[in-house]
Structure 1
Amino acid sequence: MSSRFKPALVLVDVQEDFCPPNGSLAVQGGRDIVPLLNELLDRPFAIKVATKDFHPPDHISFASNHDAPNNKPFESTITIANPLNPSETQETRLWPDHCVQGTKGAELLPELNVTKVHEIVEKGQDTRVEMYSAFADPFKSPCVSKSRLAKLLHDAEITDVFVAGLAADYCVRYTALDAAREGFKTRVIGEATRAVDPSSMDSVLKEYDEAGVTVIEKDDESLSW
């Protein structure tokens, strides 16, 4: 352990729409991680953050907002141009309507011990861009939409970020990669995540390795510090 260690816990999108039995974008086993997340919340992290997808009903990632035939949830993809710089584009998958503001699907799971959470950070409110990461949308020239997460962590002088939640291959993945870009030593607690497509995790782990993100187990020494 370094001489200076001030860790944050970031629980990504542990929401009704991402979990069985009724979630519109349910991740298999999504609810099963909550006991471990509650154990993590019992630990004395300097800051404990829960993030939420919080979409307007006309969000660009919803298949229902696009014309046939390119509007099949999970199957169709679209190219999104940066609204501030049309020469920069991103390809994204279309999803069922999920985590719409003001709906039950956007709520954090009731079994998650939210009383131990210090901050709730909402993301994905800009209808024009996809935003898997809890930090910002993927556009760089310039970024279109940022949450308050980076400022929150930097203002608290956080050194290390521990990431868990849903889903391992989308919002957890991009949150962890952005945490590393922000300069935090970043660890993903593997057992405290679940993936939309488990077969994609090999490529995710390769990205982590290249970015310096570490995947740890729940009994990793760093969690005892």
Structure 2
Amino acid sequence: MASRTKQNGSLAVQDGRTLASLINDLLSQPGFVTRIATQDYHPADHISFASNHPPPNNRPFESFIEMKNPAPDRKTESKPQQLWPVHCVAGSPGAEMIPEIDAGRIDLFVQKGKHSQIEMYSAFADAFGNLDPAVTSQSVNVDIASVLEKKGVTDVFVVGLAGDYCVKCTAIDAVKAGFRTWLIEEGTKCVVPANWGKAKEELRVAGVSVIHADDPIVKKLAVAVA
């Protein structure tokens, strides 16, 4: 399973494109049952875009606004949402896969963050942890958990950007969805590199195994599934 790498745009991750070689190598391994790429695919009026809010509390990377839970039985719940520069707008070049990625090997493209009022870092759940497709169907175009279950998948491997946001949340929610989950450390970089240590601890506590690219379980992927 591969998370997208962002273009050199308003929310680019430093040296993010250097991950393409490792990601392409993983995509070529015959041991994967399915290969999934995720794309942020936001409407222009997305709640996380700083420019969609009035000053002075609309500084990207710094400001926060309150976001409400879309689940019918949790509508009174809210949480702070960090604001970002406009990025990955649906249908724009910034939402596309970078050309360095061998997209021809990808089996499924998942577009997430489509609901204008809800953030969705994870490919499995929205920012409130809602996993139910009845709640998330407006935020994401595919119920990944259902796809993986139907294919008999037991293990999920996560790479891409960014390690302190989308990658971390996708890995943690994959565990919550019932999958044994592995994050390949050389296959991710963070928006804020100094956050990686804290992110790794969150991943460990959640039950995600953070491994290296030369881990034996990664090498086993070179063998085709029987």
Task: Answer whether TM exceeds 0.5 for this pair.
Answer: yes
Aligned to 2:224: none
For residue 198 of structure 1, what is the amino acid of its counterpart?
P
Aligned to 1:189: 184
Give distance in 2, aligned partners of 1:179 and 1:57.
28
Q: What pairs up with 1:1-225 in 2 under 5 angstroms?
A: 10-16=1-7, 20=8, 23-44=9-30, 45-83=32-70, 84=72, 85-140=74-129, 144-146=135-137, 147=140, 148-225=143-220
Q: How big is the alpha-carbon RMSD for the aligned residues of Structure 1 and Structure 2?
A: 1.4
Aligned residues: 211
Task: State the SS of the aligned residue for 2:77.
Answer: strand
Distance 1:29 1:136, change over 3 A: same
Q: CA deviation at 1:220?
A: 0.6
Residues 58 and 83 of structure 2 are in contact (CA less than 8 Å); yes or no, is this contact kept in structure 1? yes
Residues 190 and 215 of structure 1 are in contact (CA less than 8 Å); yes or no, is this contact kept in structure 2? yes
Residues 36 and 192 of structure 1 are in contact (CA less than 8 Å); yes or no, is this contact kept in structure 2? yes
Give distance in 2, aligned partners of 1:79 and 1:57.
19
For structure 2, the residue ranges without an aligned partner over 5 or more in a row are 221-226
- Greater shift, 63-72 or 133-142, is seen at 133-142
Task: State the SS of the aligned residue for 1:67.
Answer: coil
Aligned to 1:3: none
Residues 132 and 171 of structure 1 are in contact (CA less than 8 Å); yes or no, is this contact kept in structure 2? yes
Q: CA deviation at 1:140?
A: 4.9
Residues 48 and 118 of structure 1 are in contact (CA less than 8 Å); yes or no, is this contact kept in structure 2? yes
Q: CA deviation at 1:139?
A: 2.2
Task: State the SS of the aligned residue for 1:87.
Answer: coil
For residue 51 of structure 1, what is the amino acid of its counterpart?
T
For residue 128 of structure 1, what is the amino acid of its counterpart?
Q
For structure 1, the residue ranges without an aligned partner over 5 or more in a row are 1-9
TM-score normalised by structure 2 residue count: 0.89
What per-residue deviation string (whole Å, max 9, x for no partner) do you get for residues 150-175 of structure 1?
Answer: 11111111010000000000000000
Aligned to 1:4: none
Task: State the SS of the aligned residue for 2:186.
Answer: strand
Identity across aligned pairs (percent)?
Answer: 46
